[in-house]
Structure 1
Amino acid sequence: MKQPLWLFCIIMSSFSSMAQEHPVIHLWPGSVPGETAAKHAAVPTPDSSRNVIRLTDVTDPILTVYTPKAGATNLHTGIVVCPGGGYSILAINLEGDEIAQWLCGMGYTAFVLQYRVPQKEKGALQDVQRAIRIVRSRAREWQLGTHVGVLGFSAGGSLGARAATLYEQHNYMPVDEADALSCRPDFAVLIYPAYLDRGPQHTLTPELAVNEKTPPMFLFATADDAHSNSALVMAGALRSAKVPVELHLYAQGGHGYGLRPGNPAAEVWPALAGKWLKKMTAALR
């Protein structure tokens, strides 16, 4: 059921206030590769059900930066957050801003990515590759080391997996010095990922070239999620390639829950992923 107009206005007002509190980086200072539409701010859809802000028509991809508070723990590690939405919309608060705040609370610097939608999978890959390079190029500004990871949900999990396996592809012409840096993430966290099982008989999607150089991954899904096979086949491919992988498959939870309370899976995965992230970042130091 759609929320009433007054509630939608409150949500959007909150979203605008949140955006003003955090720096925004435009990924492409000039033209956006392969984009024919004019640059403009992402468009929120009228559907605000479940208090989710859904953005679409992204023609000017951006990163919104969340840093740990002054005096708080700082692990000097950046994480690019990729919201889901079926490559059609971005669930920007549920799987973006709320996740970034959680990461900051643990000491990470989070970068919420507004990648191109709808139905612009090639553009989305260009966006996440450019985002990782920008974070690396400006690491000193945010008191980071050189390590950058990705965390994605649903289609954002698909995008995170593509970033972790297709980093040797040159998908756009270099824009500046940042593009001389690697776009390989140092780790990937994929929460209820989708579209990783598009191979024959629901095997691993052919474009995902998993090998011994693929970064370590944390995978979480539930058995009652129609997309849960994606996590299973990715975990199998990583295991075969002898890449460190941690997989959790819970019985119930469905899909698209973020970390909001009231869902059994949402109440479990953050602690598991947080523990894995701490081990991973400690090993990378």
Structure 2
Amino acid sequence: MKPFIIFMLMLAPYAMTQAQHKETIHLWPGAVPGETGARHPAVATPDTSNSVVRLTDVTDPVLEVYPANPAHAKNIGVIVCPGGSYSILAINLEGYEIAKWLNQLGYTAFVLQYRVPKKEAGALQDAQRAMRIVRSRAKEWKLDPEKIGMMGFSAGGSLTARTSTQYNVKTYTPVDKADSLSARPAFGMLIYPAYLDKGEGRKLTPELTIDKQTPPMFLFATADDYFGNSALVMAGALRDAGVAVELHFYAKGGHGYGLRPGNSAAEVWPSLAAKWMEHLNIR
């Protein structure tokens, strides 16, 4: 089989999922803060190993909207942050597939294409702006603006944690009325998060300032994950601050499994997360 045909077949799950989203929201109507180059769609890398579509060179951050079926929709929205070491976005594995799962549970999902590669400051700007936009337009999707949470995987878990702890930090000049709203997520879900233990002695990353106003969080990780300590450190800091936190730490599973079958961790965390969301007391 010719290489081009193989590549297109690998992209098929991405295209099918992509077609199901209802709207694409460009976060920045004018200039993207800190960007000097021309805007263009994100670039899919040639690497589609493990059936993962990897996007990079994000210069025009967007939210892709996946509304829940009105027949069983809840009034809760979740912004999904894919991982990829702040270099790429594993957009189908930790974005579109997660959105479909959330839809099945009755949650409206918003897949965030934040800036990469290596634009951590820009990514935080994108996450804050995304939270404010969704909150400002919540009624369009029949959502409670006070019930918009965030969920992230690996580096996306880092971004979720950063947004949840730095929502009061002014990272960009306000663009419109949406920026008068809070960027604080109502809750955070960190699935095999990374980069949360960059403090001295592998303690909490200094930029993550946790207090009683930090939103409640769900964390899942495994002992054989190189980044596993991140979840332990974060959960301990949340507990010490009196924040509602639930941590699940399994023996095996590794990293970067999403919710695909065949991995023991991937087959466990979705049901635990779904139960946590169902009984979440959003404040």
TM range (shorter): over 0.9
3-state SS of paired residue (2:55): strand
> In percent, how many aligned pairs have the same letter?
64
Matches within 5 A, 1:199-218: 199-218=199-218
3-state SS of paired residue (1:150): strand
- Shift, 1:8, TM fit: 2.0
| Matches of 2:148 and 2:260, distance apart in 1 | 25
| Matches of 2:70 and 2:107, distance apart in 1 | 13
Unaligned runs of 5+ in 1: none
Partner of 1:284: 282
Tell me: CA distance 1:48–1:284, structure 2 relative to 1, closer, same or farther (3 Å): same
- Shift, 1:197, TM fit: 0.3
| Structure 1 residues 171-227: Cα deviation after superposition (integer angstroms, max 9, x where no partner) | 000111000000000100000000000000100000000111100000000000000
| Matches of 2:210 and 2:131, distance apart in 1 | 19
Matches within 5 A, 1:12-31: 12-22=11-21, 23-31=23-31
| Matches of 1:69 and 1:275, distance apart in 2 | 19
| Matches of 1:218 and 1:17, distance apart in 2 | 30
Matches within 5 A, 1:23-62: 23-62=23-62
Partner of 1:220: 220
Partner of 2:197: 197
- Shift, 1:240, TM fit: 0.4
| Matches of 2:244 and 2:190, distance apart in 1 | 14
| Matches of 1:52 and 1:15, distance apart in 2 | 8
3-state SS of paired residue (1:284): coil
Q: Is the 8 A contact 2:82 2:94 kept in 1?
A: yes
- Shift, 1:13, TM fit: 4.5
Unaligned runs of 5+ in 2: none
- Shift, 1:75, TM fit: 1.1
- What amino acid sits opposite 1:133 in the alignment? R
Partner of 2:100: 101
Q: Matched residue pairs, number? A: 280
Partner of 1:264: 264
Q: Is the 8 A contact 2:187 2:216 kept in 1?
A: yes
Partner of 1:163: 163
- What amino acid sits opposite 1:218 in the alignment? F
3-state SS of paired residue (2:264): coil
| Matches of 1:5 and 1:272, distance apart in 2 | 40
Partner of 2:131: 132
- Shift, 1:258, TM fit: 0.1
Q: Is the 8 A contact 2:26 2:62 kept in 1?
A: yes
3-state SS of paired residue (2:129): helix
- What amino acid sits opposite 2:258 in the alignment? G
Q: Is the 8 A contact 2:17 2:97 kept in 1?
A: no
- Tell me whether 1:152 sits opposite 2:122 in the alignment: no
Q: If the length of structure 2 is used for normalisation, what is the TM-score?
A: 0.96
Partner of 2:183: 183
Question: Aligned-residue CA RMSD in angstroms?
Answer: 1.3
| Structure 1 residues 77-120: Cα deviation after superposition (integer angstroms, max 9, x where no partner) | 11000000000000000000000000000000000000000000
Q: Is the 8 A contact 2:63 2:112 kept in 1?
A: yes
Partner of 2:74: 75
Partner of 1:231: 231
3-state SS of paired residue (1:21): coil
| Matches of 1:48 and 1:152, distance apart in 2 | 21
- Shift, 1:36, TM fit: 1.3
- What amino acid sits opposite 1:148 in the alignment? I
| Matches of 2:6 and 2:131, distance apart in 1 | 35
Partner of 1:7: 6
Q: If the length of structure 1 is used for normalisation, what is the TM-score?
A: 0.96
- Shift, 1:4, TM fit: 4.6
- What amino acid sits opposite 2:52 in the alignment? V
Partner of 2:249: 249
